[in-house]
Chain A
Amino acid sequence: MSTDSSKLNRIRRSLGLETQNEWPSVVRERLGTYALLSVYLVVIWFPIYYIFITSLKPTSEVLSLPITFFPQNPTVGNYVDIFVNRPFESYTLNSVMVATTTTVICVTLGTLTGYSFSRHDFFGNKTLLLSIVGARMIPPIALIVPFFQIMANPPLIGGLTGSLYDTRLALIFTYTFFNLPFAVWIMKNYFDGVPESLDEQARIDGCSRWEAFFKIILPMAKPGIAATAILAFIFSWNEFVFALVLTSSEAAQTLPIAVSLFVADDFVDWAHLAAGGMIAALPGILFGLFFQQYIVSGLTQGAVKE
């Protein structure tokens, strides 16, 4: 089929019959694939597009019919409003602090723990790994009451008093609890794919075990680290239910909660909600675009023996 059409093209060209605006043959042969992917792209991007245009419309236009797919009077007023009339800088800061701290903790502990599980065959190794990963299999919502109680009345250490309710620390603890098992698991699998002879070669070359890890193994683990980081970051950035239960003010509330606050009993402030939504979505999208090249290799490393 493809040879036939290319032959046909050659004949056409030699006869001077070539049409100028013909599609490349790749596109023509895979027209179905392209069509399907285009539909899919529209489906997944439309909500984001819709939020984006809504965030640029004044409230009057948002509520008027028929719906306009291009803002008639585009304005950045909504964005200004949410920072002026609402403490969006606090929400954003909370989100950034909580998500990055959680990510740093998960990557650091996950990398070290994963490496230990991968390299050391200590007693109880498998059971311990299974129980760490298994803890994550419990639906988070089932743990919401214990988490609330622990954060509201944390076990007292050394006579310290105080509640972690409505603090960033509560969210960081919680998100680390949920993400660390994944981090350990991903990193363990990743290190399993790095031949142990590299550690050994490093030791022969004059490294201690720590040096071998930092100088040789860690630089090779960047894709695994990136995958772990992006999963932990996006989970923490997007998490809603625990943030809703464990926080109550701008001291700790994150962007997803802030956005939901535009929904009142009898009125939804769509325009400002959309602007808040854009603010909330942007870092995740950028972070994802930047790290996506690592995700697949990080997650699939070790799946195939070379």
Chain B
Amino acid sequence: MSKVELTELVKRFDDVTAVDGISLEIPDESFTVLVGPSGCGKTTTLRLVAGLERATDGEIHIGDELVNDKRAYERDIAMVFQNYALYPHKTVRGNMRFGLEQHNTPEDVITDRVQEAAELLQIEELLNRRPSELSGGQQQRVALGRAIVRDPAVFLMDEPLSNLDAKLRVKMRAELNKLHDELSTTTVYVTHDQVEAMTLADQIAVMDDGEIQQVGAPTNVYMNPRNMFVAGFLGSPSMNFLEGTLEESSTGKFELELGGDTHDVPDEFVDPLTPYLDDRVVLGIRPENIALNKDGVPANVHPATVNVVEPQGEKTILELSLDTGQNIKAAVDPDTVVERGDSVNLRFDRDSLQYFDPETGESLTHDSKPEQKVTPT
């Protein structure tokens, strides 16, 4: 078990900068997820930690050891690849043994470890088969087993669930969670799937454009995003952004003028928003924090027209256009009776509002909320 520390890490491929000076502390025994859109540098970061790529600049520490110049096999890591990378000409047992054999592990230790890992993953009856004879889910388990037998300081996982079908993915996700509870090995996990990131992580690092946008406990990052990218990336459907001009009303309250409709800014945001008076500000509101107000209580509602109704079972997604012309999505109770073309009033949950600078995308309200401490489970 070891912590992993990345300091000012840079990786350039010719003139493309894949990783642009990231610093990240991955606590011992934590499950840290690097999440971001494709091309954001998350896989490159993982490969740098693995030793499959050489860092252009910066430092990588595993435990207390600087590993920049160490080869992959000297780093005491195990990796699970997206395509599992099982050796097709070896049996499951051969696949699991290979790493230990390469490290000159005594025969009885190899046998024991393979047996233990196979029991843990319930693949004992598959040990003599070849990878081509296994289903996707079974191959996934073997890939995990091969990592486990090594008993490494750090597990590195590169989108390990993305080749599985949706149902199996949910199942394996739960198993990964359980496995991490049992083994407590420090894990760095890369995914573009924000649901996977939210459910698995103790610590989530949202990446974009080769940089880490925000690090923290998943709920905290979700509730309290630092910028519009993080706010928009986490959550499905993603957060709505409405741009308007911040004005002071005759009563001294702040209002966001949305082009024919106004939004009253709650009092606790007056302080952070004061510098933006008479300036452009983006309001962020998640679909699940929007409620329908069909009866039309007059205060603080936003008239809109329903364009699309998408029932999803546990909730119904509505696509609406506000009377100001802006489009917005709302997630409402499935028993809500609403049809295309209906005129409705929307009510925004006043505890879940976010405000952003439209130029920089930075959150204007981020610092006004307390930061949660990350504790490995």
A216 on the B face (CB < 8 A): yes
**Given contacts A205-B99, A206-B103, A200 and B81 within 8 Å (CB-CB):** yes
Interface residues of B in 129-165 (CB under 8 A from A): 150
Q: Chain A: interface residue count, which band?
A: 10 to 19
B83 at the interface (CB under 8 A from A): yes
Q: Separation in Å of the A56 CB from the closest CB of chain B?
A: 45
Which residues in B have their C-beta under 8 angstroms from that of A201? 79, 81, 85, 87
Contact pattern, A 197-224, Cβ under 8 Å of B = 1, otherwise 0: 1101111111100010000100110000
Count A-B pairs with CB separation below 8 Å. 51
Secondary structure at the B interface, as helix, strand, loop or mixed, is: loop
What's the nearest-Cβ distance from chain B to residue A140, in Å?
A: 37
Q: Is the pair B98, A197 in contact by a Cβ cutoff of 8 Å?
A: no
Residues of A contacting B: mostly: helix
B134 to chain A, nearest CB (A): 15
Determine whether B276 belongs to the interface, using a CB cutoff of 8 Å to chain A: no
A47 within 8 A of B: no
Interface presence of B50 (CB below 8 A): yes
Which residues of B are found within 8 Å of A24, using beta-carbon distances?
none
Least Cβ distance of B90 to chain A in Å? 9
Q: CA–CA, A206 to B110, complex, Å?
A: 15
List the B residue with the shortest CB-CB distance to A205: B99
Known A-B contacts A220-B88, A220-B89; the reply to A204 vs B83 at CB < 8 A is no
B212 within 8 A of partner (CB): no
Name the one of A195, A203, A211, A216 contacting B83, with C-beta atoms under 8 angstroms. A195
Q: Are A204 and B87 in contact (CB under 8 A)?
A: no
Q: Considering the complex, which residues of chain A in the window 142-157 have a beta carbon less than 8 Å from any beta carbon of chain B?
A: none
Residues of A near B73 (CB, < 8 A) are 203-207
Of all chain B residues, the one with the shortest Cβ separation from A220 is B89
Let me know if B52 is at the binding interface, CB within 8 A: yes
Kindly supply a per-residue 1/0 record for chain B positions 75-92, scoring 1 wherever the CB is within 8 Å of any chain A CB and 0 otherwise.
001110111010111000
Rounded to whole angstroms, the CA-CA distance of A295 and B99 in the bound complex is: 32
* B71 at interface, CB cutoff 8 A: yes
**CB of B102 closer than 8 Å to a CB of A:** yes
Q: Is B127 an interface residue (CB 8 A)?
A: no
CB neighbours (8 Å) of B99 from chain A are: 204-206
The answer to whether A205 and B81 touch across the interface, beta carbons within 8 angstroms, is: no
A198's partner among B51, B79, B87 (CB-CB below 8 A) is B87
* Chain A residues numbered 213-240 whose CB sits less than 8 Å from any CB in chain B: 216, 219-220
Q: Which of A200, A202, A204, A206 has the most CB of B within 10 A?
A: A204
B contact residues vs A (CB 8 Å cutoff): 50-52, 71-73, 77-79, 81-83, 85, 87-89, 98-99, 102-103, 150
Interface set of A (CB-CB < 8 Å, partner B)? 195, 197-198, 200-207, 211, 216, 219-220
Q: Report the 3 A-B pairs with minimum CB-CB distance, sorted nearest first.
A: A206-B102, A205-B99, A197-B85
